[in-house]
Structure 1
Amino acid sequence: MGRLLQAGVLLASTVVLAGGVLYVRRHFGSSVDYRTFAGEPANLRSISGLFRLLRAGDPAAVIQLGAILLIATPVARVVFAVVGFALERDRFYVAVSLIVLAVLAASLFFSS
């Protein structure tokens, strides 16, 4: 389980670093206006828009993918815990892990 977390964080960090390098390369020398706030484009807030931007090679989409991978790492760990406890036939820890998974899913899908 620890290796899963290490691999997930390493993969997410690598993807974010690659996206950051691409972002700096694309926007090198451009000036930034710090007086106005510009949020993320709507395409980066949906899965379909993210994949469309990834296919186009948008560096911000690569960084966003790295952030999603970082969020998915502990969720994958809980899923593997459910499977592991189910294989061991430990019903109590399967139930506890499913509750944790439900809380994680609720926080991801119902947050504002």
Structure 2
Amino acid sequence: MSRLIKTDRDVATVVGKLLRFGVLSACLVAIIGGLMFLILHRSEISDFTQFRGAPEYLRSLEGIYGGLLALDARAVIQAGVLILIATPILRVALSVFAFALEGDYLYVVITVIVLLIISVGMFGGLAG
């Protein structure tokens, strides 16, 4: 990685490619899931009089993974959403390594703190 990142411009280029790849991947996965859903559920009539959130099994990583193995269209769409959420988090993680390679240790510490705040918010949050 040190060959890839020598200047601030190189960091910006790598981060830009990561963000572009993440967003495009998320879109592709969500579109595939959407098409699967439309094909598999084309004869269903939607009832919009009552809101129904995502099924319970799609609210955990294990459930999404199991749904992907079963080729469940909703799980594929949810995986696209997860990829989209993970993209900026990976950007922050990549920034830690980039700052370390550049020797900007103050920014390494600040970025690690940001990454910890994000992690606590995601995995140790107050939501049930």
Larger Rg: 2
RMSD: 1.1
Counterpart of 1:30 in 2: which secondary structure?
A: coil
Q: Give the one of 90, 93, 107 matched to 1:79.
A: 93
Structure 2: segments with no counterpart, 5+ residues:
1-14
Structure 1: segments with no counterpart, 5+ residues = none
TM-score by length of 1: 0.94
- State the Cα distance separating 1:19 from its structure 2 match: 0.4
Rounded to whole Å, the distance in 2 between the matches of 1:94 and 1:25 is: 47
> 2:16 — aligned with what?
2
| Partner residue, 1:108 | 122
Cα offset, 1:29, TM superposition = 2.4
Closer, same or farther: CA 24–111 of 1 in aligned 2, 3 Å: farther
Q: Percent identity?
A: 41
**TM-score when normalising by structure 2:** 0.83
Aligned to 2:76: 62
Letter in 2 for 1:20: G
CA distance in 2, matches of 1:38, 1:96: 40
Aligned residues: 112
Q: What is the letter of the counterpart of residue 23 of structure 2?
A: V
The counterpart of 1:90, out of the listed 76, 94, 104, is 104
